[in-house]
Structure formats: structure tokens, C-alpha cells
Amino acid sequence: MTKRILIIEDTKDNRNILNDLLTPAGFMMFEAENGEDGVALAATLRPDLILMDVQMPLMDGYEATRRIRANPDTRHIPIVAITSYALSGDEAKAVDAGCNGYVAKPFSPRAILAIVRNLLADA
């Protein structure tokens, strides 16, 4: 069964890169441009994994993560945070908010692919 991945990311380039990376890898990709849409889409789609950008306007990734975790239907979905950069301290905040892993920007597509595969193989 094809695994479904939801990307919540406000930057179109990043969404494209992730799409271009993960679609050929055999995943079904879904996108949301902001936190609110992401939370709603997550509840509807119930994806197998969520890639969450933490730095977004309106609702940031931490808040979106907390909401997804608050919903019993989406609580179990693994979330990988894409933090602003390695030493910003965002990682700890992301873990606190309920993320299962993180990737610092600028992310290496290869590293993302490794993490995603790793998480979904466990599931």
C-alpha cells in the first residue's frame, strides 16, 4: 500500500523539492501551504507521515503539531519537523511539541529520504 505523506510548508520551492524527491521514491504526496490547512488536511487524509515546516506565518509548525497531537484521529501520525537551522534551538521545541524527528534547513533531500524511509519502515 502506498504510503501517504503530507507536506505542510509555506515555501513553494521546498514543497516542490520534497515532492520531486519523494514521489519518485514511491510515496503519495499531499501539500498544505499553512498550519491551519495542514491540521485540517491531516484530519481528513490521515496520512502516514507529516513533514512539518516550523517557521510559517499565521500558525507555526509547533502549534500545528500540538493540534494534530490533540486530535485522537491524527495523534499517532509521525511528524518530522523541518527546523530553521541546525543551531537555532528549534529542534528541542519541535520535540517538545510532539515531533518524532527533525531535519534542519537547508535540508539535504538525501537526508530527508533516509529519515522518511526509516520512520515509515517502523510503522
Residues that bind other proteins (CB under 8 A): 11, 13-14, 17, 20-21, 24, 55, 84-87, 89, 92, 105-110
Q: How far is the CB of 29 from other proteins (least distance, A)?
A: 14
The answer to whether residues 68 and 77 touch, using CB atoms and an 8 Å cutoff, is yes
* Cell of residue 33, nine digits: 501551504
* Cell of residue 40, nine digits: 485540517
Closest CB to other proteins among 46 and 63?
A: 63
Q: How far is the CB of 85 from other proteins (least distance, A)?
A: 6
CA distances from 4 to 15, 29, 38, 58 (A): 15, 6, 14, 25
Closest CB to other proteins among 105 and 117?
A: 105
